[in-house]
Amino acid sequence: MNPAKKKVVAVALITAVALLGDSMLLIVLPVYWQEFGLTSIWQIGLLLSINRFVRLPINPIVGMFYQRFQLRTGMFIALSIAIITTAGYGFTQEFWLLIVLRILWGIAWSLLRLGGFLTVIDVTTDKNRGSFVGLYNGLWGLGGLVGMLAGGLLVDQTSIAFVTSSFSIVGLVALPVVFYFVPISKNEEKEHVQGIKKKRAWLTPYVSLILLTGTTMGFIVFGLFASTLSTLIEGAYQNEWEIADLTIGAATLAGFVQAVRWAWDPFIAPRIGKILDGANKPSIVLLIPLFVGGVLFFILVNVHTIIALMISLVIFQFLSTMFVTTTDTLATSAAVQTDKVKVMTAHTVVVDIGAAIGPLLAFTVIDLYGLTFVYYFSGVILVVVGIIWMFYSALTGSKTPTSRMQEIKHFK
């Protein structure tokens, strides 16, 4: 394994380890909420969402942090916070303390996500960036898979404190990895030489279009789809399956659909990234999840058999992997040509905004007009963004994103 790949794999696995406690909480808290000292159901929703909302104002601050401090420092702080918060979940039975822990985790995730992207940018080139972005996204997603599956299973067999302590110990073991594999700093000399140009040119029309796509991706994949999946399945799942006297409910099927993507992402996402690396116009690949996904959203709410729905959902999960990998790759490639920290900070902010708005808007609209309207609306959004990309590509001709960014900077 070459040194660049080792660093990307290490940073992704560090992120995955940090994610264990948060992923476990998503499964365990709604079931064992009273053991956490909660007294009302609404407290569950607040605890599971506040870390996402706190990232909106925190992301720009984290961006400024990485402009002044080393990547290694940020990743070490983030993993340390993750260890503390994960351990705290098992020994805290005060609602306000849990709120504090969730806010701290939101800060940690901002440091991890932006630090991970900057590490990928730092060690890659235009020839391998896509495959490494796919590898990074695929591997850190394993933290969500293991945290949900192993965390839920172990809590049923042991206790919350045992599981959170175990996950925290894994985090402690991973701390030395930060010093061995995370780059000390970014290419500061190059940034100093190009600093003035970057400050003036980073928010170009091309970057703005990527940010619009990132917002859409966060809204659709991480927000709306993830939050309405159980509701969608429940509508077509009339006769529940039973396996070994166990009833398989809509929530179980929804968890399976989500787990499928996390399981295949380490293998499929790097392959998609490799295709992007070899493409003259990587944005063309983006049109597949935008247009096919848009059409599929119209189909999903009109499928009335569970088998057909499950097949359609698995197809959409594949498109989601393509959507996320392509959008992140376009963002990192644009960041290399302008201002790494500012572009990636903006990218993480808009993705979080989309993800935060998704559930809120979805359930508000469902209450007024129903699930079908929500999915039709989302399908239209995907298609419209695809059309915008087509017009942009037609206007800019066959030039690559790199050449366009260079021309824009030269013009400015």
pLDDT digits (tens, 9 = 90+) for 76-87: 999 999 999 999
What is the 8-class DSSP label of residue 202? S
What is the C-alpha to C-alpha distance for residues 122 and 132, in angstroms, rounded to an integer?
11
Residues near 355 by Cβ (< 8 Å), separated by ≥ 6?
52, 218, 219, 222, 223
Domain assignments of the chain as residue spans, ordered by start: 1-186, 190-412
pLDDT of the residue at 183: 74
Residues near 133 by Cβ (< 8 Å), separated by ≥ 6?
120, 269, 273, 325, 328, 329, 332
Rg of the Cα atoms in the chain: 21
pLDDT of the residue at 188: 47
Distance of CA 391 to the CA centre of its chain: 27
> Which amino acid is residue 235, in one-letter code?
G
Residues near 306 by Cβ (< 8 Å), separated by ≥ 6?
233, 236, 237, 238, 253
How far from each other are the two terminal CA atoms of the chain, in whole angstroms?
41
pLDDT of the residue at 286: 94
1-186: which CATH topology?
Answer: Growth Hormone; Chain: A; (1.20.1250)
pLDDT digits (tens, 9 = 90+) for 130-177: 999 999 999 998 888 888 778 777 887 788 899 999 999 999 999 998
What is the C-alpha to C-alpha distance for residues 282 and 116, in angstroms, rounded to an integer?
22
- Residue 160, classed as helix, strand or coil, is helix
Residue 350 host element (H or E): helix 340-369
Is the pLDDT score of 410 beyond 60?
no
Note the residue count of the chain: 412
Is the model more confident about 187 or about 111?
Answer: 111
Domains 1-186 and 190-412 share a fold: yes
Distances (CA, A) of 293 to 132, 300, 330: 24, 10, 19
DSSP string, 73-130: HHHHHHHHHHHHHHHHHHH---HHHHHHHHHHHHHHHHHHHHHHHHHHHHH--TTTHH
What is the C-alpha to C-alpha distance for residues 152 and 142, in angstroms, rounded to an integer?
15
DSSP string, 266-301: HHHHHHHHHHHHH-S-THHHHHHHHHHHHHHHHHHT
pLDDT digits (tens, 9 = 90+) for 274-286: 999 888 888 889 9
Distances (CA, A) of 227 to 191, 220, 258, 400: 40, 10, 11, 36
CATH code of the domain occupying 190-412: 1.20.1250.20
pLDDT digits (tens, 9 = 90+) for 340-386: 888 999 999 999 889 888 887 887 888 788 889 999 999 999 999 99
